[in-house]
Structure 1
Amino acid sequence: MTRSVLAIGAHIGDMDLTAGPTLAKLVLEGASATIVALTPGERGHPRLTPADYKVQKIAEGTAFAEAIGADFTVLDHSDGFLPSTDDVALQLAQIIREKQPDTIITHWKHSIHSDHEHTAVLAERARFLAGLPIDAADDFAAITPYAALAEKLSALPRHGVRSFLHAENWEDMEDFTPSLYVPISDEAFYRWVSAIRHQAFARGETYGFRYIDYYTALMTTRGCLAGYPRACAFHTNQSPEVSKLAGP
C-alpha cells in the first residue's frame, strides 16, 4: 500500500496533468502526496513576461495542490535550462528524505523537452542519494555548492523508495510502454478536473493545445485496456498489471 507519494516534474503543471488524477485518488484513500516542480515553467506563455508568468504559475500550482489535498514545492531553476547536476539531485534527495515517499512519479527518460529528460535522470539520482550514507565531512561535501546541501542531507534519515514510476506525457512518448494501469474513480477524476481547469495553460490559453481534453480522453483509452471506466498509465520495469496503488 502506498502511504506517501512524491511526484517530480520539470515544470509546474507537468505532474498536475499526468499524475494528478492518481495523486487525487491516493489522497482520497488516505495517502499523503507531494508535488515538486524543478522550475516554474515561466517561459511557457506567448504574451506574458517570464517574471509575470512565474508568479501566475506558482499561484496556479499552489492552488492545484491545495484542491487535491497535496503539498507543493517549486525549486528556482530556469525553465528550458534545467541542469542535470548533482547539486539539483541533492536538493531532491533532501525532499525525499523529508517526505519519506513509498513511490516516486516522474517523467519518462525520452522526451522532446530536455527539461523533462533531465528531470527523469535527476529523480533517479536523487532516489539513489537519498538512500546513500552521506556525512557532512565527506570529501565531496567540501566542494561548492555541495557543502551546504550535504550538511542538510546528512541531518536527515536515509530513505529507500520502493516504487519508481514514469508518467505518460504526450511530450515523452518515445519508447514509452505502459506496464502499470491505475484505475481512477469518478471522485478522483472530478476532483482533478475541478483543480486543473484553473491552470491557464491546461485550458489551452497559452499555445492552444487542449490538455484537459487530451488527458481526459487518454484516461478513457487506458481505462478500456485496464477494464475500468478510466485509468492512468505508467511505465515500470514490471510486467503489465492493473494496480490501485493504495486501498483494497
Structure 2
Amino acid sequence: MKRVICVGAHPLDADLMGGPLLMKYAAKGAHCTMMHLVKGRLEGDVDSETQHAYQENLKKEMIQAAQTIGCDCNMLEYTTAELPSVDVFANTLVEYFEKEGVELVITHWRGTMHARHYYAYETVTKAIKILRKRGKNIKLLYGENCEDLISFIPQANYHMSKEEFDQWFKALNCYTIFSGNVNEVPYNSYYRTTGVIRGIENGDYEYYKSYMYPCLIETI
C-alpha cells in the first residue's frame, strides 16, 4: 500500500485505531494520513476563552502525534451541528479518495456508543461501496476502539515490536486527553492491556493491534 488513510470521528480516534498500521506503512514509504472529522471540545460549563485555548492546543497535539507515527493529518474541524448529510459527505470522501489514490482506509466499526463514530462508519463504508462499484480496488478495515466494541470480532491481528509499541504510545501521549486529564476514559490502560491480550490470543507475549474486515460489503 502506498496511500493509506485512517478516518476518526474525534481527535485521538484515528490514532487509536490506525496508529500501528499507519506507522508500519509509513516506515515502508507510504503516504499516510490521520483524518479527524469533528474538532474536540471540553464538556460542561466552560467559558469560550478556555474552550478556544483547548481547541488550539489540540490542533498542535494532532499534528505532533501524526508526525511521531510518520504521517500527516487532515483536520476537518466540523462541529456536530455542521456535519453534512451521510450522502453528501460520502460523496465528498469518494472524490477525496479518488484524487489521493487511496488504497486502504481504516475507520470506526458500527457497534459504537457514539453517534459521530457511527457517522464515520456509515459515510466511509458508503464511499468504499461506491468506489468498488466503479472498479476501484480500495481496501477497508475497521479498527478496534474501546468505544466501538459491540459485536467487534478481531479478525486481522498485526504484530508490533516493543519499539513500535513504544512509538505508538509516544504518539498517543501527545494528546492531553489520552492521559486522563480531560475525561475518565481509561485510554492508556485499555490499549496497553489490550495490546498484550491480543498477543496472548496469537500465541505469544508480544503486542498486537486488531481490525475487522468489511464483511458486509465484500464480494464473493
Common topology (TM > 0.5): yes
Q: Look up the SS of the partner of 1:25 in the other structure.
A: helix
> What are the ranges of 5 or more consecutive residues in structure 2 without an aligned counterpart?
216-220
- Larger radius of gyration, structure 1 or 2? 1
Per-residue CA deviations over 1:69-91 (Å, capped at 9, x if unaligned) read 11210113114774542222232
Q: Distance in 1 between matches of 2:151 and 2:82?
A: 24
Task: Check conservation: 1:130, 1:160, Cα contact below 8 A.
Answer: yes
Say whether residues 1:201 and 2:177 are aligned partners.
yes
Which AA in structure 2 matches 1:201? I
Match of 2:218 in 1: none
Which AA in structure 1 matches 2:178? A
Task: Check conservation: 2:109, 2:148, Cα contact below 8 A.
Answer: yes
Q: Look up the SS of the partner of 2:195 in the other structure.
A: helix
Per-residue CA deviations over 1:160-216 (Å, capped at 9, x if unaligned) read 243211111111111111111111122321211112112000111101333122111
Query: How many residues are treated as equivalent by the alignment?
Result: 212
Q: Distance in 1 between matches of 2:81 and 2:137?
A: 28
Q: Which moved more, 1:69-78 or 1:42-51?
A: 42-51
- Residue 234 of structure 1 is aligned with which of 208, 211, 216? 211
Report the TM-score when normalising by structure 2. Answer: 0.85
Q: Which moved more, 1:178-187 or 1:79-88?
A: 79-88
Match of 1:69 in 2: 70
- Residue 173 of structure 1 is aligned with which of 149, 157, 179? 149
Question: Residues 44 and 7 (structure 1 numbering): CA distance in 2 closer, same or farther, change over 3 Å?
Answer: farther
Task: Check conservation: 1:46, 1:207, Cα contact below 8 A.
Answer: no
- Residue 217 of structure 1 is aligned with which of 193, 200, 214? 193
Report the TM-score when normalising by structure 1. Answer: 0.77
Shift of 1:14: 0.1
Match of 1:15 in 2: 14
Which AA in structure 2 matches 1:164? L
> What are the ranges of 5 or more consecutive residues in structure 1 without an aligned counterpart?
134-158, 239-248
Question: Residues 48 and 191 (structure 1 numbering): CA distance in 2 closer, same or farther, change over 3 Å?
Answer: farther
Q: Distance in 2 between matches of 1:40 and 1:48?
A: 17
Indicate the percent of aligned positions where both proteins have the same amino acid.
26
Q: Distance in 1 between matches of 2:45 and 2:173?
A: 19
